[in-house]
Amino acid sequence: MLKKLIVFLLIGTLGYTLAVTFSSIPIGANRIGSLDNPETVAAYYLDKSPNDLKVANTITAVVVNFRGFDTLGEVSVLFLAATGLASILYRKEEEEEEEENKRHISHRLNLPSSSLVQTGAKILFPLILLLGIYVFIHGHLTPGGGFQGGAIIATGFLLMLVSYKGFKNNHKIMVWLESLAGLGFVGVGLYGLIRYGSFLQNTGWTGNLNDLVSGGLIPLIYIFVGIKVATELTNVLDILLNIKSRRK
Amino acid sequence: MEIIHEILKYIGLAFILIGSIFLFLGALGIYRMPDLYNRLQAGTKASTLGAMSVILGVGLLQPFWLIKLIIIIIFIGFANPLSSHALARASYRAGIKPCCEKEIDFYGKAVEKQLKKIKKNYKT
């Protein structure tokens, strides 16, 4: 009885708070203001990112510059997710290897993929990598950015892992790249801290709008994010595909 | 110059029309065909040609984009048949049977042969 009462009380409080909060929001009103006279943070971003930062893509300016610290947290969340996946799914105890191998071999899906797919994958793989790199290098000019480019690169690796059974990623290089990219991100932040007095502070030099090298440190940070996301997602795919054959 | 643009515009519109007809037929084929393999074939063939034609039409309407769009067309022509081939092959191996009685089945025999070979290698 008491439990139910507490639950009702909680729900009532929650509902009341939500109702009060939402009733105070004027729906349909112009809350942005004008660009000359910004009233909210959105107008401030829209005004500042092309004019002061010289970044054509406002979303990138917000993600990497105005809330860059949060992006650093997101990248580390991704890293933690990959680590957690590996630690949960990694099987240490040896099972009956014979049995499992037999089961695999008798399965029709375990045949190698056709030579058409293999040749096509070989041709497409470098092009997919190129597209991914293009996307994260142009993150401050066009839609897309580090996360998207990294995901595209990971799909390229997925294509190779699916079509070639013997395709192995070099784990050492992957881990090194990932660590270096993370270190680079933090290093850019520390540079801002030392030089300008605040973590991830952008440089004073920003270049011209719509140039490839513009926006100060934003392209650099997005390149680091792209490399980190690509290596992490590739590692995740590798772990997921090798789960059955992995033994100590 | 103006006349050329005008002519290109109408050719592009014609290409877009043809492409959308093919895309519609592909959708109709996916709806009407009896089993997975026929649907895959209808979807792939029609949508490859339809998408290529629509993109080419857009390229003729906007000649500034034409080179990029031709690259996209090449990629569609390259990747679309490949992916449908992989899908069909994987579904055959997974044991999905074609709808109708078939008299010639070279691939089924080939798969059996391959499986036997692998099993033999495993035993020795």
Nearest CA to A234 among A179, A187, A182, A170?
A: A170
Q: From residue A178, give the alpha-carbon distance in Å to each of A18, A148, A158, A229.
A: 42, 16, 18, 8
CB atoms within 10 A of CB A187: 13
How close is the nearest chain B Cα to the Cα of A138, in Å?
A: 17
Q: What angle do CA A169, A172, A176 make, to 5 degrees?
A: 115
ipTM of this complex: 0.75
- CA dist A62 and A84 (Å) reads 29
The pLDDT assigned to A78 comes to 87
**Residue found under tokens 């100060």:** A216
How close is the nearest chain B Cα to the Cα of A170, in Å?
A: 26
pLDDT-based confidence at residue B121 (cuts at 50, 70, 90): confident
Residue B17 in tokens: 């029309």
Beta-carbon contacts of residue B104 (< 8 Å; ≥ 6 apart): none
Taking contacts as CB-CB distances below 8 angstroms, the residues of chain B near A117 are 82, 85-86, 89
CB atoms within 10 A of CB A78: 18
Helix, strand and coil percent figures for chain B, each rounded to 5: 85, 0, 15
* Residue A154: CA count within 13 A, CB half-sphere: 21
Q: What angle do CA B119, B120, B121 make, to 5 degrees?
A: 90
Using an 8 Å Cβ cutoff, are B51 and B76 in contact?
yes
All structural domains of chain B with their residue ranges: 2-98
* Residue type at B50 in one-letter notation: G
The pLDDT assigned to A102 comes to 55
Taking contacts as CB-CB distances below 8 angstroms, the residues of chain B near A114 are 85-86, 89
List per-residue pLDDT tens for chain A, 248 residues long: 889 999 999 999 999 999 998 888 777 666 666 666 667 777 888 888 888 888 888 888 888 888 888 888 888 898 888 888 888 876 654 555 555 555 555 555 566 778 888 898 999 999 999 999 999 899 888 888 889 999 999 999 999 988 887 777 788 888 899 899 989 999 988 988 888 888 888 877 777 888 888 888 888 889 999 999 999 999 888 877 766 544 44
All structural domains of chain A with their residue ranges: 57-90+114-241
Using an 8 Å Cβ cutoff, are B26 and B50 in contact?
yes
Using an 8 Å Cβ cutoff, are B50 and B22 in contact?
yes
User: Which DSSP string do the residues of A75-101 spell out, in sequence order?
Assistant: HHHHHHHHHHHHHHH---S---HHHHH
The pLDDT assigned to A246 comes to 43
The pLDDT assigned to A33 comes to 65
The pLDDT assigned to B122 comes to 67
Q: pTM for this structure?
A: 0.77
The pLDDT assigned to A248 comes to 40
Asked whether residue B115 carries a pLDDT value surpassing 90, the answer given is no
The pLDDT assigned to A192 comes to 86
Q: Indicate yes or no: CB of A114 within 8 angstroms of CB of B86.
A: yes
Paired with A38 in beta bridges are A33
Taking contacts as CB-CB distances below 8 angstroms, the residues of chain A near B86 are 113-114, 117
Using an 8 Å Cβ cutoff, are A31 and A40 in contact?
yes
| Interface residues from chain A to B (CB-CB < 8 Å) | 101-102, 105-106, 108-109, 111, 113-114, 116-117, 120, 123-124, 127
